[in-house]
Chains A and B, each alone.
Chain A
Amino acid sequence: MPHRYAIRVLEAANCIILGKERELRLALTCLIARGHLLIEDVPGVGKTTLAHVIARLVGLHFQRIQFTSDLLPADIIGVSIFDREAGSFRFHPGPIFSQLILADEINRATPKTQSALLEAMEERQVTADSETHALPEPFFVIATQNPSHQIGTFPLPESQLDRFLLRIRLGYPDRNAERALLMGEDRRELLERQQPVIQPEDLLALQQAAHSITVSARLVDYVQALLASTRHNPELSAGLSPRAGLGLIAAARAWALTDGRDHVLPEDVQTVFPHVAAHRLHFAGDGRSVTPEALGQLIRDVTVV
């Protein structure tokens, strides 16, 4: 049963990152749904640790790229260097050629660099010097972003945000989790000792299993009603795109799989909906990003049939 793999990963991850079951499960859901994950939060709440944990537990090859304002596209993708011995240019792959990339503080880099990463995410391949290089499989990007009002940031444009399947926030740990964190072992050491609980092939099996989760006609009705409600809502500047709709179903399937079900329920859609929609919807008036309250209201406005 592929969903055992998911349970195994989540159990192990919860031992390292305390009190964040839901966020970990959403991150894994994103991975299973072949989407990319955007984590938006203040520094120091464990964004990097989360990426590390997932990479280690699934046995993925991991690279961290710290985005800064002087980072160039070649620093990510790689460069072609003239090989004197061979007498030709040779492509030196950049850090993007890894199974799991942590793009840290993505909104600190210039738009040019940002778009190099985001294009690679979409195409799952890189073109350098008219040569196309396929990225490894699985390929998963976790990007972190500081809240955009901080100084020295280049906020990602809407079209780029659309490439991320889910956006989550980690938030501060609750009192007990924080106490355990403060008194317990160093997380980094804990992580060093942790062995993978599944193999990358198991992740591929999970991804395939998610793809065959049943989505009934009634559920599609519900998803369509939900999409329509974002499009007809006068408070929002624009509704969700069909791509977002596809993502919503893919994420709901993966979530249902982590729950051990072979079919998607409206609850699955409702669980992932705020994370699919949060970075894609904006208020009509001031263009602010949509609030969790507004998203909750959107869900309550649509009848489950």
Chain B
Amino acid sequence: MREVRTPTPLQFGWLLAAVAATVAPHAIELSAWLVILCASLVAVRAALSWRRGEPPHQLVIVLIAIASGVGVKLEFGHFFGKDPGVALLAVLLCLKLLESRTTRDVRAAVLLTFFLQAGLFFDNQTPGIAALALAGTLLATTTLLSLEDDGARPAAQLRTGAVLLAQGLPFMLVLFVLFPRVQGPLWGLPADAYSGMTGLSDSMAPGSISQLGLSDAIAFRAEFDGVPPPPAQRYWRGPVLTRYDGRTWRPGLSVAATAPGYEPSGTGYSYRLTLEPHNQPWLLALDFPAANLPNARYTSDYRLLAEQPVRVRARFDLRSYPATAIGLTETAAALAEARRLPANVNPRTRELAREIAAGAPDHDAILVRTLERLRSIGLTYTLSPPLLGTHAVDEFLFDTRQGFCEHFASAFVFLMRAAGVPARVVTGYQGGEINPVDRSLVVRQSDAHAWAEVWLAGRGWIRVDPTALSAPARIESGLSAALPEWDALPLLRRPGLDWLRDLRHRWEALSNTWNQWVLGYNPDRQRELLERIGFSQPDWRTLAVLLGASATALMLLLFAWAFAQRRRYDPLDAAWARLSRKLARHGAARHPWEGPLEYGQRLSTAFPGQAEALRTITERYARLRYGADHADPHSVRELARSIRRLNLK
């Protein structure tokens, strides 16, 4: 058992660093008591190795292990699943570190760190986490290396570790590209995994969108082929809300079909939409998408739906025509629904509507008059409007006169309906910001918006954005330009923090690239890539052959490289190294500082049977290496041969 060795302080230092680097990123998801426990275990171990103390008694470690097991059970209620698993693994790793005495323990601890590094990706797959996992892997690899080569300087050990990882990189890439992809996350997620996803809901009550306005999380990104549409045309369609109960707007009946119910016309914009998961089926396409997406459905209220709620980041190649006329022929039932209002709410608004409608020749005129009237009321656009009571629209229009887009849209649609014009609320996102780094359009939750559609005979559904009446800047330049006071805004939306915005832009461009190329590499993209290199419809056998062939080719390349490195050695050096390797098997390797004659002397004492041969070899080497005459190839070959033939039996 040559494993019963005590690790040197340096080896322990590497292990400490590897464990700390592995457990620290887990601190985000672990609860406080676990973080404190792990940190103190690591600290105790560090103090022990600093003072060269002995690890605590086995019993203490067992007690801590049982106690933390009970703690995990109390916190999670069970031991199954990733969260309790990661928590237990983290504590056990720290305990293993604490009790480590021999190099064998160090190896076991390193193995555990590799597991925990994989566990980092359960909750988070950002480039930052990948970098942390890489750093942890490098430290763990260096720990293993230091066990084998404890004479080298720390920097040299770290460099060797990095070289080893770099050599593994091509294999990792081959496996990444060619290994059959699994749709969705690899690990089974519990049912509540999607509860944290933010985004628009399918109903709208006062305050529901202004809540989103506070979040600068990204909702989706769009990369346009060519020039993106002007800001005023960037309406990304979400739920269309027809039913109103006096407080909350809900979607009406809509029918889904495989093709859109309109004829796309006008200028088209092609773009690639990368949607963050929001656990809803709608795709937030720019008004109005053409029928170029397979498996998508087009609803009668002009939304684009996916088959399944979007639960992982997804990409869609879309083409939209903002100028398309929609709903030229609308059923009477649909129009009737778009005029329905609950009784007994907002009497003052109804009165106003009657006043506007009186004497108006047609719906167009009512629309124009309503807009004029709203403008004259003098409404203020704000993220934090006062709370409203039962007659929400009345209070907004006549009392508080402050509201966010949902108040404007709701009041406008109520007014139109009260005046007898079919109208409805549309929610979604408006605007977006071009990231100057990669030219993609980034739409955040704070771009969430509500607007209105009015149906006019002969023109169909017309988009009307009542928010634009009071805050035209909201539509043209985004939220921060429209709000007078900016302190309630998300940090990134505040003016005057240009450097921060620039940094954020860069980071988001990097994340986007990462999302597109690493996380977004799904079975479809794998198929696309393989088709592009000439393998259409590959089955698992083709993939296996490809995988094997690439790995073999890589191995050969690495081998050739290593061989070329070897060939740069002098043949005399190679022969001399061979002698030492050969004798190492008999426990008589040359010490690095040992000169040839000294080595020869040691060997001839150790192997009396071969004393003469060994002395001849070492003396000949000494003469060839250090002598006056240039070592001629013939003698070097001769020496190499005698070393090869040396038999130490």
Q: Interface on A for B, CB 8 Å cutoff?
A: 214, 216, 218-219, 262-267, 270, 299-304
Q: How far is the CA of A262 from the CA of B626 in the complex (A)?
A: 10
A265 and B597 contact, CB distance less than 8 A: yes
Contacts of A299 in B (CB 8 A): 593
Interface residues of B in 608-643 (CB under 8 A from A): 622-623, 625-628
Whether A214 contacts B627 in the complex (CB less than 8 A), given A265-B622, A267-B598, comes out as: yes
B9 at the interface (CB under 8 A from A): no
25 contacting pairs across A/B (C-beta < 8 A): A214-B628, A216-B626, A218-B625, A218-B626, A219-B626, A262-B627, A262-B628, A263-B623, A263-B626, A263-B628, A264-B626, A265-B597, A265-B626, A266-B595, A266-B626, A267-B598, A270-B593, A270-B595, A270-B598, A300-B591, A301-B593, A303-B592, A304-B592, A304-B593, A304-B595
Q: Is B594 an interface residue (CB 8 A)?
A: yes
Q: How far is the CA of A266 from the CA of B600 in the complex (A)?
A: 13
A265 to B595, CA, bound (A): 7
Q: How far in angstroms is the closest Cβ of chain B from A124?
A: 30
A218 to B595: give the CA distance in the assembly, Å: 12
Q: What is the CB-to-nearest-CB distance from A3 to chain B, in angstroms, rounded to a whole number?
A: 15
| Cβ–Cβ < 8 Å partners of B595 in chain A | 265-267, 270, 304
Bin chain B's interface residue count. Answer: 10 to 19
> Which residues from chain B sit less than 8 Å from chain A, CB to CB?
591-598, 622-623, 625-628
Q: A265-B597, A267-B597, A267-B598 are in contact. Are A214 and B626 (CB under 8 A)?
A: yes
Tell me which residues across on chain B come within 8 A of A214, comparing CB atoms. 626-628
Asked whether B591 lies within 8 Å of A263 as measured between CB atoms, the reply is no
One of A263, A300, A303, A304 near B627 (C-beta < 8 A): A263
Per the bound structure, the CA–CA distance linking A115 and B156 in Å amounts to: 47
CB of A27 to closest CB in B, whole Å:
22
Q: By the criterion CB–CB under 8 Å, are A265 and B596 in contact?
A: yes
CB contacts (< 8 Å) of B598 on chain A: these are: 267, 270
Residue of B nearest to A305 (CB): B573
Closest residue on chain B to residue A214 by CB atoms: B628
Top 7 nearest A-B pairs (CB, nearest first) are: A266-B595, A214-B628, A267-B595, A303-B592, A263-B627, A216-B626, A300-B593
Q: Which residues of the partner chain B approach A300 to less than 8 Å between Cβ atoms?
A: 591, 593
Closest Cβ–Cβ distance, residue A199 to chain B (whole Å): 28
Min CB–CB distance B596 → chain A (angstroms):
7
> Among the interface residues B595, B622, B628, which one has the most CB atoms of the partner chain A within 10 A?
B595
**Docked pose: A263 CA to B591 CA in angstroms:** 22
> A303 to B592, alpha carbons, bound, how many Å?
5
* Minimum distance in angstroms from B156 CB to a CB of chain A: 13
Q: Which residues of chain A are near B627, meaning CB under 8 Å?
A: 214, 216, 262-263
List the A side residues contacting B591 at CB < 8 Å.
300
Known: A265-B596, A265-B626. 10 other contacts (CB 8 A): A214-B627, A216-B625, A216-B627, A218-B626, A262-B627, A263-B628, A264-B626, A265-B597, A267-B596, A304-B593
| Minimum CB distance partner of A298 in chain B | B593
Q: How far is the CB of B626 from chain A (nearest CB, A)?
A: 5
Contacts of A265 in B (CB 8 A): 595-597, 622, 626
- In the bound complex, how far is the Cα of B622 from the Cα of A214, in angstroms? 12
- Cα distance, A44 to B510, chains bound together (Å): 81
Among A262, A300, A304, max chain B CB count under 10 A is at A304
